A = this chain, B = another copy of it.
């Protein structure tokens, strides 16, 4: 897919970081792979969650950017806000050179998030109970 002659001059100039592991991705590549919009990827960059290198004006994402995106989306799926996710990613980056495969949540963070989601779940449960009751009352 991304068969642009980009590695013509590897590790040269501003393409250093993109060439870290050879493979690079365009914004459309990542958007397709992860099922998000281009706007979303630009927005995450604006929020400081991603920082692809530039090829002229074009964005070039490397393997570490791709790994970070996977973590961001996992964080979202777990119900964290982008601000929270940025904090988690920063701790991640500080810990080690290589990108971690998952967000390293502390027991406290996990418990807090579980409590948060359980509260939401109860609200939804109450709404569902009322709707189902109304539905039954109409069935007669």
Contacts and interface: CB of A to CB of B under 8 A. Distances in A.
Contacts of A138: 107, 110
Q: In the assembly, how many copies of this chain are there?
A: 2
A118 interface: yes
Contacts of A121: 121, 124-125, 128
B114 A79 contact: no
A36 interface: no
Q: Chain A contact residues (Cβ within 8 angstroms of B): what range? A: 20 to 34
A114 B77 CA distance: 21
Contact of A114 (B105, B120, B126, B128): B128
A78 interface: yes
A124 B79 CA distance: 8
Given A77-B130, A113-B131, A121-B128, 15 more contacts: A78-B127, A78-B130, A105-B131, A105-B134, A107-B138, A110-B134, A110-B135, A114-B128, A114-B135, A117-B128, A118-B128, A120-B124, A121-B121, A121-B125, A124-B124
